[in-house]
Structure 1
Amino acid sequence: MEKDFILSELHKTLEDLEKNELLDEENSFPFLIFDQLNDLIFLVNDFRTITYVNSKINSLGYSASDFKGKDVAFIFEGEISKQMQFFFSRKASNKIWVFKDYLTKIDGTKVFFEFKLKCFNIDNEYFYVLIGRDLTENEKLKKDIEKLKKDEEEIKKVLELSNIGIWKWDVLNDKITYDNRYQKILGYDKDLFQESWETFEEFIHEEDRKHIVNLIKEHFLERTTIYESTYRIKSKDGNYIWFLSRAGVVEKNKFGLPRFMIGTYTEISEYKEKIDEIKKEKAFIQKVLENMGQGLLILDYDFNIMFANKAFYKMLNLEKPHANNYEDFLVPKYIEVFEKEIEKLKSEKEEIVSFECELKYRPDKIITVIVTAVAYEEEQIKRIILVMTDITEKKKLEELLKRYATFDDLTTTYNRRAGFYALEKYFQLSKRRREPLTIVFIDIDNLKYINDNFGHDAGDFVIKKVADVIKNSLRESDLIIRIGGDEFLLGLPNTKETDVEIIFQRMSKELEKVKFDGEVRISLSWGICEYNNFDEEITLESVIKKADNKMYEMKSAKKE
């Protein structure tokens, strides 16, 4: 619609409306039609504050709320902004200022517009209408029309030698014309449509009519750049023949309404069945890919994401689509691993690769996956296909099993199997470095009495308390092993027996602070054996046995 026409119609309407009514009622005229226009429209009050902007602003990536309440001059820069401020200061009723300038879309690209700004005076109060038309498509359309007219004859000659027909529609006069190819295909010897769109619709299969009309409306409203549809037309023998048609509006009237539409058509009956089969097969494959339990990712050779299934996005707790590049979902330390493995496929060193990596799970978690990838290449298409299997729970289970297999559940010290394995390593290291290793055998006194009189929960408390005191008294490098219900074994590298006695005296005082029933105290019996005879054939078992014997000597002495 021409901007002068909009301003003219708006001016007529304003004569019958109060200013407040216009600015406050967005359901009244002209707001009802503004959103249907292809022009950008702002309403501005006397303070240069934008009070309304139509939905055309959405095409720039913004919403109306991004502009409402803001100074209209902020849209423009430099000299245009200064001239606009001057225009507002003049309050020149019914004057129109025409200018051209760029608006920046939300993605940073610039769009060239022609603007018209007009001042209105209603009851001595001023407000303004700013209308902008995108000149990008306008200029492109003019060039396309010129080229189309210039090449029209040549196109007709080419079409005569092909299986493509041509049609033209005078929209305002409802006159549609075709070449005679339709007649030949459908078996008629005259123009069956009689140059009438209404008659043409009667020959179209009833299931296709509404679809065609909707597609044409979408194109007329400029929501699609080209009209394209498939439909069936009844032939002379009563059968329906499939056609594919593509078209576009090539000329509009001064109000912006479509005037002429030109298009092509071709028969596709022999291909329709194959096309439908391909669509069904594609839909089936798509359904399988979307509903498979593993994440599926297809990358181009620059690592851009070309496809990701629902399972992939669900795996990362992402809304689809979100990730554009592999770096968007990989934990940074695995980026190099990922690139190295995929490069093996690209360089054809490997036909298939499989590796473990970690992915970012929104908002702040990490999951572990096994990635299996293959390269796909056909003609000019090169892709990397990756299948990702979430093994996070499996890894957690492995860690849990490893923990249970290594540590005592109650005290978190080493259990017997893992502890003796580590102690043997300490023993061999001591022998090789010729550094002393002290073995301590510990037994908790009166644990059976505590269990019998206070319950096993109390007994467990005592065991845990003893383990905690031992941990707090030793170094991180010292080894603590729970070898039985009330027995612990210590491996203290580079430690002498005299030093251990001092440590245990301190530990005993700490344990004396804990009492049961006011009388029963926690106490320990221990035996210490320092391994320092590096030239003798001594085994770890013999050292432990000596420490065990000394522990029993101490325990027996307490009973005497």
Structure 2
Amino acid sequence: MIKNQNIYLAGALFIIIVVLIAGVIFFTGPIPIKNISSFNSNLLLKTIKLNNDIRNIKSSLDKVIYYSALKPSPIQKEGFKKALNKLNFRFTKTDRQYKELNIFIKKNSVFLKNNRQIIIYFNKSYFKWRNISKPILAAIIKYPEYILSKISYKIFLRDTLYLSHLPTINIVKATRIYFLKTMNIAIYIFIIATVVIIIMLILFFYYFNKFNEILLKSEQRFKSLFYNLPLIAFILDIETGCFIDVNNAAVEFYGYSKYELLKISIEKINIFTDSQEQRKFRKMAAEKGSHNIFFKHKLKNGEVKTVQSFGTAISLNNKLYLLIIILDITERKLLEDKLEESEELFRILTENLITGILLYREKYIYANPTAESILGYTQDEFYQKYVWDIFPDEFDKKIIKKAIEKRLSGENMGPSHFTFKALTKQNKEIWLLIASTTVKYKDKLTALASFIDITEMINLRNELEREKEFFKILIENIGVPISLNKEKIIYVNSEMENLTGYSKEELYNMNIWDIFYVNNKQKEEIKSNIKRRLNGEKFISEFIFKLKNKSETELWVKVLSGTIFYNNEWVVIVVLTDVTNEMLEEQKILKEKENYKLLSEFDDLTGIYNRRAYKAKFHEAFNTAMRYGRPLSLIMFDIDKFKDINDNLGHQAGDIILKEISAAVKENLRTADYFARIGGEEFMIISLETNIDKAKELAERLRLKIENHNFSTGNKITCSFGVVSFNKNDTEESLEYRVDLALYKAKENGRNRVENA
């Protein structure tokens, strides 16, 4: 008997040691997964945000160029000034973003010691920004009239802005490789620990069944093992699910006393699983045993834990019961969910880049989905090709071969830009604008190229430069929808027919604005521009409209219009580009921005509306009161001697008081009342459909509420209130002035009181 007891205790001790070691490896481990994941996420978000800012600079620059090309007028000057100011703001913001990202990377360099490639990407982008894009933009902002008059400089500047874009796909790839490597190590450790635990549990159940007959003869030894088992364990009635016995670990885990547990069934804890399903599980576990069954258990304190349940049948007093061993896997489940979320984020970023990315030596090593889409080849097809295979011109092939040799030998490490004609898998010739550089991949020098398809731009430029006698051939074969217009449409090419679904004869009886969804203001602007062009005025206009077409398909087009001399008279040329995908994406982004705008209306500290939101609501409420003669009251209050509180107790105590006052006032207001923090310790209440008497009653009630409130700082806090109501002679400014005057009156008359003006 002593021998069996020693064997049992040794086995239990061995299991405890294994479980503890596995727990230490899993929960504290040598891999800082959380910090690495957080750093990678922040790095990618900051990179995407920086690239968005660079795109915004280009958008602002386009507006500056557009207004600079207009005929001087007050509207043109005002538009030009606003566009230049916005360009200056975005330029300053982008420069600040670069500096912040630079500090962020240096501060977190410990996470990049095995991933130096990201630092190289950023330093190259930052170098281009400081030495190319930033000086040029600064010159434009300082001398806009001189610089923007040079068309070659405009084109050059637009191209140079793309030089500063961070190669997001490379950062994604580099961080993904490092993150996956880290996660693999953690997963391997986790798997090993889990396997060890499972093996030891299997061994435990093996020995448990082996010594079952001995344990039945010695109930005391069984209870000693059961109660002192470090794992959560309990015995259930198979039919009812009631607890028959529980060990100390179960009492500690669930938070109930042993007496409380023995009075309830497992169904009170396992509330997320149907009772019938639980009965099936108990019967199955009693017959065959159970492994890898997962439940959510609710503890006494309301916390929900994810657990893994192991069950087997035991015999006590000649009756079968179910012995359940529980493992708390809540933390492991959270880790698995985080991993899935990170992988999904990497996939989305990789698949939605708008530029083609190629990694190559003599043959291609990697191509992103955009590259596959533009050139038509799959990843496997790219791997089989030499880089120069997709370029049809023999002279271009020689240039590319020579450039690759220089990069792979280390002779040329810097960035290069080329425009080449390429051949897609479908034998379609396209023009690519390519930016390439040299990187290290798997300890070897490798060329990295990003590119965009500029075929349409090249075709349009080449066609417009041809002789006038080839004009009709040009617009018939350019591959983009084109029309010539006077008061009505006088000529369209086949692409215009295909895009709109109307025949030439139908289009010739229409005005150009008839094929777009435009409002009256837009229609009048189009008419005005046509009139100016027919008088020989040359300028470029660019709009984006929704297209009317016979098929009623939702199509968005970019409308580029100019003035040309055709058949001995001035006419308007209109070129359309299908931008449906871009517009749908932009609408999605605008929706996200609208959601952000809603969030930005609340004060960060108190959670109530901020001054910006108050101003908008007050303007709306005032106009309603003015138009329909409805009652409207303003209640303004601030905290008495708040500066003394900050000086004596510190700003942290002041913040606590601001929060508690906001909460106390908010819970005593109607849903229709609008409560905002408009300054440091100043608050404003817009009380709709409320006259002066009701407003004063509300202010007095709030004053008493604050005066009698037990603040956590231990201070006695009071507030002074000013109350006014709208009258027909008021303006927005006068109403706010009067409520401010009433508050001042309350302060002058001793504070902690309500005054009206």
The alignment's TM-score, normalised by the length of structure 1, stands at 0.31
- Of the two, which has the highest radius of gyration? 1
The higher-RCO structure (CA 8 Å, 6+ apart) is 1
More strand by share: 1
Give me the TM-score of the superposition, normalised by structure 2.
0.24
